[in-house]
Structure 1
Amino acid sequence: MRIGAHLREDTDPLTTATDLDIDVFQMFVTDPQSWRKPVPRPDAEAIRDSEIDVVVHSSYQINVASLNNRLRMPSRKAVEQQAAAAAELGAFGLVVHGGHLRDGEDAAEGFANWRKLFDRQVDKGGFGVPILIENTAGGDHAMARTLEAIDRLWESVGDFEQAGFCLDTCHAWAGGEDLVGLVERVRAITGRIDLVHLNNSRDEFDSGRDRHANLADGHIDPEVLVAVAAAADAPVILETPAEGVPGDLDYLRSAL
């Protein structure tokens, strides 16, 4: 099992990853709060050639499910651009949140927009890397909060080879999904788990709040988190508070 962490706003992620002695790291390729197109990185070749794996997290404002053209269209473009930048780094995927609709909008149209994301890219030869759709924590109109929603989403995109899945434990907990046996229930829908975001939660079950905690500090039993990581048998990324990441890595390695 390859274990690592998200390296936030790190100008030299490869050195940080080496210092942490991790097998994989997650990074952004542009400002996560903007629509800026990624620019080539001077360390791209070093990252690509490293034995440490890399996965890229897309910027947060992306919402390819949206029925608003002014949000959906730039979201599609951003996914294409950031996937291309991820490929330049030799990344194994681009993590993209499931997105959401507004009150009163038809969920079927949101799921159809996810399909169009992949459909429209076919004529361009696909994305630079697989798109790893991540379950989300809150919102009654979220595309990937509940297993029911994920099932409907997978009915739309599951036949695309480049559609992968990222399971976030804090998001699942906050979204009201029991973590015990969750890996098996997700796989029964998607057939795959490509990445795990292993995070504890600062909030109660089904809170709808996306606030991560270090593995031993939140409301989720740490042993349950370890069990999820073991069952998923996929690369594990910690998105826990940075000051506690070394301790989280030690705990997880020991527990596994």
Structure 2
Amino acid sequence: MARPSKARAASEESSALSSVVSDAPETAVADTAPKGTRGTKRKRNVKQQVKEESEGENDIEERPAPVKKTRQRKAAKVEEEVEPSPKKARKSKKVIEETQEAETTTVDAPPTKAKVVRKRKTKEEKEAEAMPLAARTVGHKLFIGAHVSAAGGPPNAVQNAIHIGANAFALFLKSQRKWANPPLDETHSINFHENCNKHDFDQNKHVVPHGSYLVNLAHTDPERTKQAYDSFLDDLKRCEKLGIALYNFHPGNSVGGDRAAAIAHLAGNLNRAHKETSKVVTLLENMAAGGNVIGSTFEDLRDVIELVEDKSRVGVCLDTCHAFAGGYDLRTPETVQKTMSDFNETVGMKYLRALHLNDSKAPFSSHRDLHANIGTGFLGLRGFHAIMNDERVIGLPMVLETPIEVRDEDGNLQKDAKGKDMEDKGIWAREIKLLENLVGMDVESEEFKEIEDRLQKMGAVERNRIAEQVEKKTTKVKEMEEKTKAKQTKLNFGKAVPAKKGKKAKKEEEADQSDASSLSALPSDNES
């Protein structure tokens, strides 16, 4: 029998292999398939499986409708291109569903606030506000007023002074709480002169601007000195343009440094400022606080004035609240006379050029600067009666710095519709009339006693509140001093303490010293 050829054998082997492959399971095909075709087959199988799972899930849970079709198409396109594994496919599907759910969720917009429409004041309302709260007392020997607002420019301060029936006034020449300020408007200067002349305000005597609270001419730091001096000098030059001759300011603070050096530095700055201006008299205000604050004693004021070269350019503005809180009693005619005598002996009455009239919420010598309305504080109405009837204050500008916030019977501040503290400038108008009427009034009269009692009742809540604060602070300070003393005693424990000498020992020691001095007084051999 003839042998088959090699070609025929190969053909039969190939057909046999094909029949085996066709009869094998699909998984076997995947395992034995060539490398190039194996991945393609797996992708088709996974895709088919994901599709079936997706269809099954859609039968159970309905997918929320997407808001934007573009995002849905984009998500589907990404899903087709990536063709993840079944596990990743389920995760991707969950992310897509959460995204679509977030897109369909609507967020409630915040309610829009109703626009506040501010009602403009009518002409009648403006005229009513401009009407004086009290008529000015013409020809009175006392010139009493208040520290009024200069908002809109110094000329407005004149109108505000007239509004409360004042014959003197104080003002800020610029913002007292910032360093940089625009220059004085020339129009304001012209109008200020016109208003003062029209309403008979003597700018040389009865207008006393207040300096900035930021200025500390006693600070020895060069940078701080320049900043404070420039602001101070600017105020003096504004005074000259406005025709004002008096300028009141706080002396400053030594900031923990040497007190004598700070006072000398302050006086040096005044000398510089006096040379750069022509006529303004700078008034040192006495202060309430002690410690590093300069001006809390009459001796401080004296020491500054002694170092000022041009004595005609310096003076004092005496604040009644500051003096009382600083330890100078003003509650009775006798104590007023005593304080005035002390001022005259220490500083000199010729330097008293103005007064700030304020009662004190804080007790005597508390060193707390808390102004109260006239007669409602610890100083009391009798003290002001004595001051108003003192001939030494006649002709001086006397300025109220009392609070004008409205309070209820319990002492609580009242708020307006905007939530701001309510103010009543009528308080100043009434206090001016009260002080003017004290001249010649008998303190033992029923009229005076009725006013005194009423004012004391008005201020009782505030006095008690502040008195409690002061008492707590005083107690705390004493406790700290006792602890410090006890600690020092403990540190000194065990050290040798010199024994106290009795009377006999002291006499013997004095006798020995006397003998020694007698011997030393005898001439020596060389001197003879």
Same fold (TM > 0.5): yes
Instruction: Quote the residue 2:190 is aligned against.
Output: 45
Task: Note closer, same or farther for the CA distance 1:97–1:5 as it changes in structure 2 (3 Å cut).
Answer: same
Q: State the one-letter code of the partner of 2:224.
A: L
Judged with a 3 Å threshold, the aligned counterparts in structure 2 of structure 1 residues 9 and 208 are, in CA distance, closer, same or farther, namely farther
Q: Which residue of 2 aligns with 1:249?
A: 432
Please give the alpha-carbon distance, in whole angstroms, between the structure 2 residues aligned to 1:239 and 1:94.
Answer: 16
The match for 1:3 is 144
Deviation at 1:119, TM superposition (A): 2.5
User: What TM-score, normalized to structure 1?
Assistant: 0.91
Partners of 1:38 and 1:94 in 2: how far apart? Answer: 20
Shift of 1:37: 3.6
Counterpart for residue 357 of structure 2: 198
1:69 pairs with one of 216, 222, 227: 222
1:168 deviation in Å? 0.5
Q: Which residue number corresponds to residue 157 of structure 2?
A: 13
Distance 1:177 1:9, change over 3 A: same
What displacement does 1:135 show? Answer: 0.7
Matched residues in 1 for 2:179 and 2:189: separation? Answer: 21
Code of the aligned partner of 1:20: I
Does the 8 Å CA contact 2:145/2:167 hold for their aligned counterparts?
Answer: yes
Which residue is 1:217 aligned to?
Answer: 376
Shift of 1:59: 0.6
2:258 aligns with 106
Structure with higher RCO (Cα < 8 A, 6+ apart): 1
| Alpha-carbon distance in 1 for matches of 2:282, 2:171 | 15
Residue type of the partner of 2:327? G
Question: Cα distance, 1:127 vs. partner?
Answer: 5.1
Deviates more, 1:170-179 or 1:154-163: 154-163
Deviations 1:9-44 (A, max 9, x none): 543222111122211110001111111245324433
Corresponding position: 1:238 with 2:411: no
Structure that is richer in helix per residue: 2
Query: What is the letter of the counterpart of residue 157 of structure 2?
Result: P
Query: Helix, strand or coil for the counterpart of 2:311?
Result: coil
Q: Secondary structure at the match of 2:312?
A: coil
CA RMSD in angstroms, aligned pairs only: 2.0
Distance in 1 (CA, whole Å) between partners of 2:369 and 2:168 is 23
Q: Distance in 2 between matches of 1:71 and 1:249?
A: 39
1 CA distance for matches of 2:161 and 2:327?
A: 33
2:249 counterpart SS class: strand
| SS at 1:236 equivalent | strand
Worse overlay, 37-46 or 76-85: 37-46
Q: Residue 194 of structure 1 aligns to a residue in which SS?
A: strand
Aligned residue number for residue 5 of structure 2: none
Contact 1:114 1:156 in 2 (8 A): no
Matching residue of 2:177: 33
CA distance in 2 between counterparts of 1:162 and 1:55 reads 14
Structure 1, unmatched stretches of 5+, are: none
Distance 1:170 1:120, change over 3 A: same
Q: Provide the C-alpha distance between the structure 2 equivalents of 1:153 and 1:121, rounded to a whole number of angstroms.
A: 14
What per-residue deviation string (whole Å, max 9, x for no partner) do you get for residues 114-136 of structure 1?
A: 22113223543x35511111111
- For 2:487, the equivalent position in structure 1 comes to none
Which deviations, in whole Å up to 9, do the C-alpha atoms of 1:118-160 show, x marking residues without a partner? 3223543x35511111111113122210122222222222753
- Cα distance between partner residues in 2 of 1:144 and 1:21: 31
Q: How many residues align?
A: 254
Alpha carbons of structure 1 residues 223 and 80: separation in structure 2 relative to 1, 3 Å: same
* SS of equivalent to 1:186: helix
1:146-194 per-residue CA deviation (whole Å, 9 max, x = no partner) reads: 1222222222227532111100011111111223222332233133211
- Maintained 8 Å contact 1:114/1:157: no
- Structure with the greater alpha carbon radius of gyration: 2
Query: Which whole-Å CA distance do the structure 2 matches of 1:38 and 1:84 have between them?
Result: 14
Alignment of 1:56 with 2:239, yes or no, is no
Tell me the secondary structure at the aligned position of residue 384 of structure 2: helix
1:131 equivalent in alignment to 2:282: yes
Structure 1 counterpart of 2:242: 89
Mark the CA change 1:219 to 1:148 in structure 2 (over 3 Å): closer, same or farther: same
Task: Give 2:481's aligned residue.
Answer: none
CA distance in 1, matches of 2:275, 2:437: 47
Whole-angstrom distance in 2 between the partners of 1:158 and 1:140? 27
Query: Could you tell me how far apart the structure 2 residues matched to 1:83 and 1:121 are?
Result: 8
In structure 2, relative to structure 1, the CA distance for the partners of 1:165 and 1:123 (3 Å cut) is: closer
1:73: Cα distance to partner?
Answer: 1.9
Instruction: Tell whether the 8 Å contact from 1:164 to 1:194 is kept in structure 2 after alignment.
Output: yes
Measured at CA, do residues 100 and 150 of structure 1 come closer, stay the same or move farther in structure 2, by a change above 3 Å?
same
Q: Give distance in 1, aligned partners of 2:315 and 2:146.
A: 19
Shift of 1:81: 0.3
Relative to structure 1, the CA distance from residue 74 to residue 34 in structure 2 (aligned partners, 3 Å threshold; closer, same or farther) is same
CA separation of 1:169 and 1:127: change in aligned 2, threshold 3 A: farther
Q: Which has the higher strand share?
A: 1
Unaligned runs of at least 5 residues, structure 2? 1-141, 331-335, 405-423, 440-528
- Provide the residue aligned with 1:153 in structure 2: 304
CA contact (8 A) 1:80 1:127 kept: no
Distance 1:139 1:251 in 2: 32
More off after superposition, 52-61 vs 39-48: 39-48
Cα distance between partner residues in 2 of 1:158 and 1:184: 25
Most deviating of 39-48 and 29-38: 39-48
Matches of 1:216 and 1:142 in 2, distance apart?
Answer: 27
